[in-house]
Amino acid sequence: MAARKVFERDGFLDARVTDISAAAGASHGSFYTYFESKTDIFRTLCSEEMDMLYANTGGGEPRREELDPIERIDRSNGRFVAIYKENAALLGLFEQVTTYDDEVRKLRMAVRERAVARAQRSIVQMQEAGLVDRDLEPFHTASALVTMVNSTVHFWLVLGEKFDEDTLVRTLTQLWARALGLRQDGAGTG
């Protein structure tokens, strides 16, 4: 989408409707046939892209149920890092605009709620299988772990903190597994 290219190139604040229209090969006036403002097209872009991006962080081969719990966590962290890395410019803008646009903030919260719910379901499943301590409250645990991964990757790929990708994914996985009480052999402390 032309708007994405302009936003990623110029940033949200410096992007202009004129540049978005030109990149799309459309007249400036026709832009307003479809969108009310630069903010409106950004909201539309984020809504479409975030659904696609974050939907791709789940699933994968082999089936998740067939993997060791730590391998599941590692694959999920690896997919999240790969997707964030490929889309860092847009995701950085997405986080930035949440600070001053209520609609984008609501979209960001919906994306987060889906990620937390997915992690929460996984924690409950591992608790039911006796792999994770039942004293851990699933929602709060999932929320903290999702925040850890998202913030760390944001600091790396958007704000420029120096990390080695393989070491970072391995460390995030180790921290996640240890927080849940999982051991490397797949057994837990539950």
Question: Which part of the chain has CATH 1.10.357.10?
Answer: 38-180
pLDDT on residue 55: 65
> Which residue ranges of the chain lie beneath pLDDT 70?
54-66, 184-190
CA-based torsion, 30, 33, 37, 39: positive or negative: negative
pLDDT on residue 1: 79
Taking the complete model, does pTM exceed 0.75, yes or no?
Answer: yes
Level-2 CATH architecture, domain 1-35: Orthogonal Bundle (1.10)
Cα R_g (the chain), whole angstroms: 19
> 10 Å Cβ neighbour count for 31?
21
Question: Which part of the chain has CATH 1.10.10?
Answer: 1-35
What Cα–Cα distance (Å) separates residue 113 from each residue in 25, 72, 117, 133, 151? 37, 20, 6, 23, 15
Q: Give the right CATH number for 38-180 from 3.40.50.20, 1.20.1740.10, 1.10.357.10, 3.20.20.450.
A: 1.10.357.10
pLDDT on residue 62: 44
pLDDT on residue 15: 95
